[in-house]
Amino acid sequence: MSGHGTPIPMSSHKCGPLKGEAHVPGDKSISHRSLLFGAMAVGETVVTGLLEGEDVLDTAKAMRAFGAEVTRDEDGTWHVHGVGVGGFAEPGNVVDCGNSGTGVRLIMGAMATTPITVTFTGDASLNGRPMARVTDPIALFGAQSYGRSGGRLPMTIVGAADPVPVRYEVPMPSAQVKSAVLLAGLNAPGETVVIEKEATRDHTERMLAGFGADIRTEVTDEGRVITLKGRPELTPQTIVVPRDPSSAAFPVCAAIITPGSDVLVPNIGLNPTRAGLFYALQSMGADLTFENPREEGGEPVADLRARFSPDLKGAEIDPEGAASMIDEYPVLSVVAAFAEGDTVMRGVKELRVKESDRIDAMAKGLRLNGVEVDEGEDWWIVKGRGHGNVPGGATCESHLDHRIAMSFMVMGMAASAPVSVDDGSPIATSFPIFEDLMGGLGADLRRD
Ligand code: S3P
């Protein structure tokens, strides 16, 4: 788990052109769900392409604690022998989800309608994040929770012995909350209905349907209305996890800002609820193309080709698309620093409650490296300096946040002076091969 070990100070030095192919790891959201839904099915789910980052490994450990058998073959194939909906055993100890909001929030939802008592904890980052967004709706099913002040972990949840189905409108754009409610609904009788005003990533809906749940989504004036019939028997699946667009973002953005670069990032999932960054980059004048577009496992997939883009322009990023690129704003803000003019990002309050307050963490680091940023509660503006004019030279705090650490490493590849982070260890939560992969393309990353 990140944040429990020794910090790894890292620096990124101006490099030559980035060239070659970047084979990024499996999708984090789909990896968590593969293990969790596999654990709730009856029989053996087989998963290939799983992201073997710390976040997902913590979810694998948790599933074992709940009674599922989770094993890995030498070739990286994972097997999950599930216990069925409502079949979770009570873990014998505290469940530690490390750095992972997705892991803890989805698991809390999944156990909330089973009569077991579970205590959850995480690292310093996770233990500072809001959990009331999950404990409020699971209380409607009959679950009780006892956490620290501010609804924070460590927290004990007593699952409902006699759950009732709910109708719940998710108050913030959050796929984790939507998913937690749907997963609680799996073991409630009758129909659970979840309404979201803005579309967020829909992997839970797609995958639960794949596992045989009766789930349907209607787009109405209220928003997306998702109806799930409780108490299905989930059928085990064979899952090939697509590669993660949120990890692809790093080599793509690095190539766009580093002179002479030409990088191919093959097999990237382009589910419309995830792909917003790539269209935002194109609107800024990035040389980014989708090659060989195709469908795989019901998801749109393409090979991304990103080339150095000397004439980037700042842009107004469409707030309506915020959920489809919510994890990509930190690295987008780095690209914005290399563009001419302002990049305006609005409707992004959720960035303040991620692994870190991402507006604050990026604004501080960008300023230290000579880039001006204005910010408000739910917006920020990066004042682009244009290619060749980004000073760099400072050390930033990564705040136990993998995407903050990787974003500043990308910045150092094209800034005039090296950019450093106090701790690169959180990178292992989502992208354990980041240093090797970027080094293979030509980046000059150093452990200091
Ligand atoms: C995720 C949902 C998003 C995202 C996170 C993964 C998921 O979080 O930021 O990295 O897999 O459901 P929110 O639900 O907090 O928006």
The CATH number given to whatever domain includes residue 370 is 3.65.10.10
Q: In terms of domains, do 264 and 207 share one?
A: no
pLDDT reported for residue 94: 98
Count how many domains the chain has: 2
Average pLDDT across the chain, whole number? 97
- In which band, very low, low, confident or very high, does the pLDDT at 5 lie, cut at 50, 70 and 90? confident
What distance in Å separates the CA atoms of residue 291 and residue 135, rounded to the nearest whole number?
Answer: 43
pLDDT reported for residue 4: 54
Place of tokens 């949840």: 157
Q: In terms of domains, do 341 and 441 share one?
A: yes
Q: Within a domain: residue 74?
A: yes
pLDDT reported for residue 1: 41
Q: What spacing in Å lies between the alpha carbon of 308 and ligand 1's midpoint? A: 30
Least confident of 201-215, 285-299, 321-335: 285-299
Do 361 and 397 meet the contact criterion of CB atoms below 8 Å apart?
A: yes
What distance in Å separates the CA atoms of residue 308 and residue 3, rounded to the nearest whole number?
Answer: 34
- Kindly give the number of the ligand 1 atom that is closest to the alpha carbon of 200: 16
Does the pTM surpass 0.75? The reply is yes
**pLDDT digits over 94-140, tens only?**
999 999 999 999 999 999 999 999 999 999 999 999 999 999 999 99
**pLDDT digits over 130-173, tens only?**
999 999 999 999 999 999 999 999 999 999 999 999 999 999 99
Q: In terms of domains, do 251 and 142 share one?
A: no
Q: Which residue range is the domain that position 136 belongs to?
A: 28-229
What distance in Å separates the CA atoms of residue 417 and residue 337, rounded to the nearest whole number?
Answer: 14
Q: Within a domain: residue 2?
A: no
Q: Within a domain: residue 4?
A: no
Q: In terms of domains, do 197 and 273 share one?
A: no
Q: What spacing in Å lies between the alpha carbon of 435 and ligand 1's midpoint? A: 24
Q: Average pLDDT, stretch 72-81?
A: 98
SS3 107: helix
Q: What spacing in Å lies between the alpha carbon of 174 and ligand 1's midpoint? A: 6
- In which band, very low, low, confident or very high, does the pLDDT at 297 lie, cut at 50, 70 and 90? confident
pLDDT reported for residue 2: 43
Tell me which residue of 350, 9, 176, 374 sits closest to 362, measured CA to CA. Answer: 374
What amino acid positions are annotated as catalytic residues?
327
Count the Cβ atoms, other than its own, within 10 Å of residue 181: 30
Q: Best of 58, 97, 102 to mutate for ligand 1, by most ligand atoms within 8 A of CB? A: 102
Tell me which residue of 244, 263, 266 sits closest to 252, measured CA to CA. Answer: 263
- Kindly give the number of the ligand 1 atom that is closest to the alpha carbon of 29: 11
- Say yes or no: CB of residue 201 within 6 Å of ligand 1: yes
Do 181 and 170 meet the contact criterion of CB atoms below 8 Å apart?
A: yes
255: pLDDT strictly greater than 70: yes
Q: Within a domain: residue 237?
A: no
Q: In terms of domains, do 298 and 212 share one?
A: no
Q: In terms of domains, do 328 and 185 share one?
A: no
